[in-house]
Structure 1
Amino acid sequence: MSRVKPPARRADLLAGLFLSFEGIDGSGKSTQARRLAETLRAEGHQVTLTREPGGSAGAEQIRSLVLEGDADRWSPETEILLFTAARRDHLEKTVLPALARGEVVICDRFADSTRVFQGLTRGDLSAMVDQLHRLMIGREPDLTLLIDLEPALGLARAQARQGSEMRFEDMGLGFQTRVREGFLALAGAAPERFRVIDGAGTQDRVAEAVRAALRDAVPLSPR
């Protein structure tokens, strides 16, 4: 699969930039992804806001399989295959076409979530995740915003909103703690790609920190 490389950027031109948001459940990353999309559109950028698992018709069908039901519904190995299948369809149908059009793609979760949720937290399956990623995906975000939050606070927020997609939240505080540790380890290993944002403040304060972290990559453009 060919890799779409972002071109040189000027204040009046932005093309093909791939951003992802990551974090534990309840971190506020989905809210911040949506707010960033609204901000960039108001500044004059063309934006595709999408999510994982999901973001394309086929991937949305897989989403219900992996996010609903009992916590032990799938083994980690089966989850890796399901998430990778969803991601491949999402990449083909949504992400790469939007990048080819010169848009900013903002994705609520991408491959780092699989690296952490399936690769690190329930056994060491990192090699399997990485091998499938190389074979079937072959693309990383240009920048990743990690919204960092204490696991107890994130879990309380996630449980308060309820809904049917609670499978990973039902795995408990210990699981969410390992997820946070996994994300911070990834950020430490790839500081050129990750921007770690404190998610404990107000939504407005976190949104300001997100926009400031992207100032060089996503300059203000004329409306």
Structure 2
Amino acid sequence: MSAISVRGQPFRPRTSVSCRSGQRVVPPFSIQSLQKNSKVLEGPPKLQKRKHIIQPRVTSFRMYYDRGDLPIKMEYLTGGDKIAWTVDIEKLDYSLYLPLFFDGLSETKHPHKTYARQGVLDLIAHGGDKIYPVIPQLIIPIKNALSTGNKEVMCITLKILQQLVMSSDLIGPALVPFYRQLLPMFNLHKVRNINCGDEIDYGQKNSLNLGDLIDETLQVLEMHGGEDAFINIKYMVPTYESCYLN
């Protein structure tokens, strides 16, 4: 009798497999399962769970740093490590370097996080009028840092955001149109009492929880954001109360 073809291929019945005990392992519901010295196959193999591993995002800052394209170096001092700039910081192209260093705020390991955080503070301190035109380019890096879920990164980013807003009278109002992108993370974590530790103030012993730091940052945004700041904050964070009412 010729073999029955299935989709052009000859069909061959499943054969039995011998096991170590001498019994034959045979498929269930088959004639072979009624024979002596046979063992029925115990169902299909179990499906193994795949662990979903979240790979950390490779920041542009890390790529530039690993290539040696950043004008910074580390100085090892008695009071602690400090970064030094290899060029005059006031002559840097802020449209390139400020978003680049803000992107590095998502980093969690040394030396990348150390260079990025201190670099951002230095650039803000010396930026002056050069910061305002770059504000739209900073929104995505800030949003990425706040979306990491890492409490240290979030606290550092909130403190730096405060420094950014207070660096110029133009920055606060310029951020108002971007509240829809930034403030959802504020609303999500506003009631979370997560201790941020002492690292947020770079040596100052001031321990805050994440909820308090978010409230503090919202107050800074309101005070420096102009007349439209509060209504836009309230729309995105309904539980926020104006600091002028207290």
* TM-score, normalising length: structure 2: 0.27
Relative contact order: is structure 1 or structure 2 higher (C-alpha 8 Å, sep ≥ 6)?
A: 1
Q: Which has the larger radius of gyration?
A: 2
